[in-house]
Amino acid sequence: MSKKNKLILGDVLGMIILILADQFTKYLAVIHLKDKPVIPIIQDVLELSYLENRGAAFGMLQNQKIFFVFVASIILAVIVYVIYKMPVDRKYNKLHVFLTFIASGAIGNMIDRLRLDYVVDFISFVLIHFPIFNVADIYVTVATAFLVILILFFYREEDLRFLSFKQTKYRELK
């Protein structure tokens, strides 16, 4: 098996593990939180509270299942393209990890939308009245923040040239 295939296999296995963890936590939320009182974890800071989210953060775009599945599918297609085009080099390992987390979060929430018509949310950061979220949301949010930092401060433009759609070779003019 080539090194590239091993990396991609690692990405896929990582996604499977992360998706299973997300789905398991949502299963636990349904079993232990649905139609039950809020469970405080840290008083007035963090609590577990069941919510069936038919929209996005802050209640936006309610009942837009097709839109959310479409957007998630586009994001997943871009991630597959980037992983496929990514050179086999250690400097891209962090990129593999962050893309794996983002894809896992997108798939985890897409599974809910396709299966249930809503996303199970259950983590509530009440200190700042933040919207209720889930493990998949954490994957996407944290990994995207680190991905932006990585692209802005770690990689140089030539490190990301593999993302170009151009197939021509760059030659020096003499």
Q: Which residues have CB under 8 Å from 65's CB, separation 6+?
A: 54, 113, 117
Residue 22 appears among annotated catalytic residues: no
Residue 121 appears among annotated catalytic residues: yes
Query: Which is catalytic among the residues 11, 35, 137, 159?
Result: 137
Angle, CA of 8, 9 and 10, to the nearest 5° = 90
* Distance in angstroms (rounded) separating the CA atoms of residues 106 and 172: 41
Query: Which is catalytic among the residues 11, 22, 112, 121?
Result: 121
> Among all residues, which ones are annotated catalytic?
121, 137
